[in-house]
Amino acid sequence: MIAIRGNHDDWFDEFCQTGRHPADWEYGGLATVQSYLGQGGGKRPFVPGGYSLTYILNPEDIPKKHRDFFSKIQPYFIDDDGRCFVHAGFNRFFRFMDQHPSTYYWDRELWAAAWEWQRSSRLYPHEPPFKIKTQFKEIYLGHTSTTNWNVTVPMQGVNVFNLDTGAGGRGKLTIMEVETKKFWQSDLVTKLYEMNFLRTN
């Protein structure tokens, strides 16, 4: 398995390294805190909300093998066939290798531009080619859910494939076999974790 670092992984690794919880880590982080506190016997109180999380969960509460795993996750992977796997995207107007790692975890512009080009090229067949500084055979990413377009399956814009079908919200988790483009999906996460959604909504 080759793990690709995303924004949440980066937040968690930052916490493991420094003990500080990034401001937005609470998005999805509360369940993580509860889980790790439970592993330790759950004796310390769980106090949700803002930076109070800092005082109830410490890096030492995280097993070393977990901390080691998160510290070694790669920012991207390029296979021998020229396919690029990256969590969010990158700035298509600059060389891929020259970009700050946070771009790979946060960028939404690549997907938005690729999808817009795909859409407009259907209407205007003589649309100029999609510009991208570093060429890849295919690009696979997530981070920006297809549910923003009311789509629940993977989407393709030019040679960019978006596999984020909303598992971080109310959608499904998707995996794809990149050679054939066959994909499989979980049930809706609201069904898989129904009790959690009932508690928080």
**10-residue mean pLDDT series, the chain (201 residues):** 93 87 67 74 51 66 93 96 98 97 96 93 76 96 96 96 92 96 94 62 49
Q: Which of 71, 89, 119 lies at the terminal end of a domain, its last residue?
A: 71
Q: So what's the pLDDT on residue 19?
A: 84
What's the whole-model pTM score? Answer: 0.86
Helices (H), the chain: 7-18, 26-39, 64-71, 101-106, 109-123, 189-192, 194-200
Q: Which of 52, 71, 90 lies at the terminal end of a domain, its last residue?
A: 71
Residue 182 exposure: Cα atoms within 13 Å on the Cβ side: 1
Query: Does some domain include residue 197?
Result: no
Query: Does some domain include residue 199?
Result: no
As a whole number of angstroms, the distance between CA 197 and CA 70 comes to: 27
Query: Does some domain include residue 63?
Result: yes
Q: So what's the pLDDT on residue 90?
A: 98
Q: So what's the pLDDT on residue 55?
A: 52
Please classify residue 172 by burial: count the beta carbons closer than 10 Å to its beta carbon, then call 0-12 exposed, 13-18 middle and 19+ buried.
buried
Q: So what's the pLDDT on residue 44?
A: 55
Instruction: Please check whether residues 135 and 161 belong to one and the same domain.
Output: yes
Domain residues for 63?
7-71
Q: So what's the pLDDT on residue 70?
A: 94
Query: Does some domain include residue 2?
Result: no
Strands 138-141 and 155-157: unpaired
